[in-house]
Chains A and B, each alone.
Chain A
Amino acid sequence: GAGVSQTPSNKVTEKGKYVELRCDPISGHTALYWYRQSLGQGPEFLIYFQGTGAADDSGLPNDRFFAVRPEGSVSTLKIQRTERGDSAVYLCASSLTSGYGYTFGSGTRLTVV
């Protein structure tokens, strides 16, 4: 596609529920990144994929967070047993090669009530 697509754009869920956030990168982009941005703060790194594998998952806050990219294109960020503190905008970015020319999606605003 023309840009990085993230769905849904908004997600409201109850505390304790499971959610999946989807990122569809620009076609041909091999690198994919997930960030989390809380209100009034800078994006916080979560995980980075090069192809199908997670090259760096050091930013995932705990084992409730997991991300996959099984075919090296679309990625899904999965959050189990959601907590109110998980509420944030989750941003996805992709690049043609690692480290250059990042394009960000519009984000998924997650609200845990």
Chain B
Amino acid sequence: ELKVEQNPLFLSMQEGKNYTIYCNYSTTSDRLYWYRQDPGKSLESLFVLLSNGAVKQEGRLMASLDTKARLSTLHITAAVHDLSATYFCAASPHNNNDMRFGAGTRLTVKP
């Protein structure tokens, strides 16, 4: 069964700093997703990564995928307060169309 692990689970950053969130998954996966969730809200799709070496960027966030290492990263550049949220990665089991989520990384960006 596909397991997804994220680390760190909690992250407190200063504004302007850079950091990386890591997402490991246990078995072959066809797709890797990153979502953002604000308190009391639903999930907002950030990135979908489909192939080895895929890199996508949106503003201060950049996601990458290494299928050989079964690892995805979400890199935060020059963090700002508005990025404070919980970030989830999710992977789709091979030949399956649903998602398995990690436990989430709760990010707090402090002035």
Contacts and interface: CB of A to CB of B under 8 A. Distances in A.
Interface of A: 31, 33, 35, 41-45, 48, 50, 55-56, 59, 91, 93, 98-107
A44 B104 CA distance: 12
Interface stretch (B54-62, B68-76, B94-102): B94-102
Interface of B: 4, 30-31, 33, 41-45, 48, 88, 90, 92, 96-104
B88 A99 contact: no
10 contacts: A42-B88, A42-B103, A43-B90, A43-B99, A43-B101, A45-B100, A45-B101, A56-B98, A99-B92, A106-B42
A107 B42 contact: yes
- Ranked nearest first, the 6 interchain pairs of A and B with the lowest CB-CB distance are A98-B97, A42-B101, A99-B97, A48-B98, A104-B43, A104-B42
Given A41-B103, A101-B48, A103-B45, 17 more contacts: A31-B97, A42-B4, A43-B88, A43-B99, A43-B101, A45-B98, A45-B101, A55-B97, A56-B96, A56-B97, A93-B43, A98-B97, A99-B30, A99-B92, A100-B48, A102-B33, A102-B45
Contacts of A43: 43, 88, 90, 99, 101
B42 A91 contact: yes
B104 to A, nearest CB: 5
A45 to B, nearest CB: 5
Given A99-B30, A99-B92, A100-B48, A45 B42 contact: no
Nearest to A41: B103
Contacts of A98: 97
B48 A45 contact: no
A99 B31 contact: yes
A45 B99 contact: yes
B39 to A, nearest CB: 11
B92 to A, nearest CB: 6
Contacts of A50: 97
Contacts of A42: 4, 88, 90, 101-104
